[in-house]
Structure 1
Amino acid sequence: MSGPVVVGVDGSEQSLDAVRVAAREAGLRGVGLRLVHAFGWPSSHVPPRMAPWSPASAGVRDLVDDVLGEAERLARTVAPGAEIAREVVLGEPVTVLELESRTACLAVVGSRGLSRFGSLLLGSTASHLAAHSRCPVLVVGGLPDPAGPVLLAVDGSPRSAAAVEFAFTHASLHGTGLLALHAWNTRTERVYESPGDPPFVTYDEGRLRDEEERVLAEALGGLGERFPDVEVVSRLVRGRIRHTLIEASAEAGLVVVGARGHGGFGGLLLGSVSQAVLHHARCPVAVVRVDEEE
């Protein structure tokens, strides 16, 4: 998708961090940047026979302009050549940003924000957008290592291919390396000698490891050849998947995960690993969701 980078703005420090990240992404990708501020009006508080609320009629346009003005000035210092648009949209942030994602190449939000003059960019917004966005979502939280690699969580599921390509593209644009990490453990994967072997009796650890190495290699496919400028390090780790990824995120510039991998229940839009990384990673996280209807 060649649409703009969209960023949610609410005036909080974390949303300004998101603006910095979004501006840089727009500049590197050569696309426009949309600064979006969402206003919500609680229907239970609308006085009888009053026209629908708007920023202008509520007398807070100057306040909104200040918030967006600050965001725009910040964005121009990061990406002076980018085309920047400012939008004030009536609606709840989760709905507004989800709609914006339909025509965007990337949506960027802070991991948490403010509840201020009707604008809500809280943790629930980032989580909801990661599960429902039509484009990749970059959630800005934690302190990234500027020289750290892109940390790619490899699970080998067919729907994770988009996350792998996003990780390579991001590493190439930013001039960083890529660490492809695949965690496994014998409690969740077993190789049986025969159909009669109960799952709690027999598994072959050597064969398991060989299989997981194959999964890791196949997930990366020929992308190393398509992105020769990206130095790739593959790491196979035996351990708890969520703990391993969160620990490794301390030395990364960005973690990239698919929205749902192996073992996800049908209809579950954001898997347990993705949710854990989204909430606990020590650097920004990109969640790449595939619309299975497409």
Structure 2
Amino acid sequence: MMDAIVPMGAVLVGLDASAGSAKALEWAAAEARRRKWPLHLMHVLDVSHRTWPTYSMTRQVHEPVINNALAHLVRSGEKLKVTWSEPTGDPATTLASAARGCRLVVVGSRGRSAAADAFLGSTTNRLIAQTRCPVAVLRADTNLTTGTSVVAGLEYGRPFVRVLETAFEQAGTRHLDLTIVLHRVPNDEAQHRENDRLARSMADVARSHPQLRVTTHTVRDGAIEELRRYATDPALVVVGSLGHGEFGGAVLGSVHQGVLRSATCPVLVVRDGRKAFVASPPQAAAGA
């Protein structure tokens, strides 16, 4: 078992035994291969509940998670630079700490149940609160077939420059259209101000993506339903977090929590107000 340091500029995927985790692995591997970034697999052994009497027994029981992930990568024929590790600790805090030099973190969610809502409200929220780089969340029923567009969901009154930068970059590298939905605009005056702000931000970002086809929509009510309507066949939905604090707190608004609970495509959460890590060319890592 390799307990490797996470390579600089890697895609870090958090694994467990769930179906959502399997989807997260598949998407993370495809993203790493597409971008020629290293991939690091991490399974955090959460011993806080004291389910198992010893660390060695806990490790023995959970060890197949990494082994199964590596076997899947071998079967899929992914040509990747892969490292892996299996630390102990709180999953959100451990993943966030490991992600300090990463370009992207990918995790799976557990479904649409009350337990899943609690998971999204705790582990994923805390991970997003503590992580500088974008965090991709995938459900067990996520559709990984290539869609026709990338959709960016922007909230009224919130910073959205990094969300736009990420959405433009994702759509550009995928050669897909970009759909921007600005929601929660309360009235005509506010809509005019927000449209001006969006136009100025887009003018700056779009210079790097002159060939990208972009459509924008502004909505006041029913933001989740509108986002679904405009995202009829998305390859990815990009949303921003509220950015409340370094640790804990409700970092996702209700609309974006709803998107995470209901989306059938990958959702990429971007923390605005922070500069993402830009890595130098990564060193060679172990091959899967």
Give the TM-score category using the shorter length.
0.7 to 0.9
**Alpha-carbon deviation of 1:129?**
1.7
**Alpha-carbon deviation of 1:77?**
5.3
Question: Quick check: 2:104–2:134 contact (8 Å CA) kept in 1?
Answer: yes
- What one-letter code is carried by the residue in structure 1 that aligns with 2:226? T
Pair 1:60–1:130, CA change in 2 (3 A): closer
TM-score by length of 1: 0.75
Pair 1:293–1:137, CA change in 2 (3 A): closer
Gaps of 5+ in 1: 48-52, 114-120, 190-204, 262-266
**Alpha-carbon deviation of 1:293?**
10
Written as runs of structure 1 = structure 2, the 5 A alignment for 1:242-261 is 242-260=224-242
- Asked which structure has the greater RCO (Cα within 8 Å, sep 6+), the reply is 2
Q: How many residues align?
A: 256
Q: Which residue matches 1:198?
A: none
Q: Which residue matches 2:57?
A: 58
Q: Which residue matches 1:3?
A: 9
What SS does structure 2 have at the residue aligned with 1:286? strand
Measure the CA separation in 2 of the matches of 1:76 and 1:176.
Answer: 29
Greater gyration radius: 1
What SS does structure 1 have at the residue aligned with 2:165? helix
Written as runs of structure 1 = structure 2, the 5 A alignment for 1:166-205 is 166-185=166-185, 188-189=186-187, 205=188
**Alpha-carbon deviation of 1:238?**
4.4
Measure the CA separation in 2 of the matches of 1:135 and 1:36.
Answer: 16
Pair 1:172–1:72, CA change in 2 (3 A): farther
Q: Which residue of 13, 18, 26 maps to 2:19?
A: 13
Measure the CA separation in 2 of the matches of 1:156 and 1:33.
Answer: 35
> Does the alignment pair 1:270 with 2:246?
no
Question: Quick check: 1:101–1:107 contact (8 Å CA) kept in 2?
Answer: yes
Pair 1:65–1:41, CA change in 2 (3 A): closer
Q: Which residue matches 1:160?
A: 160
Pair 1:29–1:144, CA change in 2 (3 A): closer
Q: Which residue of 105, 109, 112 maps to 1:111?
A: 109
Q: Which runs of 4+ in 1 moved over 4 A?
A: 43-47, 76-79, 291-294
**Alpha-carbon deviation of 1:60?**
4.9
Q: Give aligned-pair identity as a percent.
A: 30
**Alpha-carbon deviation of 1:144?**
5.4
What SS does structure 2 have at the residue aligned with 1:17? helix
Q: Which residue matches 2:285?
A: none
TM-score by length of 2: 0.76
Gaps of 5+ in 2: 1-6, 112-117, 244-248, 277-288
**Alpha-carbon deviation of 1:81?**
2.6
Question: Quick check: 1:250–1:281 contact (8 Å CA) kept in 2?
Answer: no
**Alpha-carbon deviation of 1:229?**
4.0
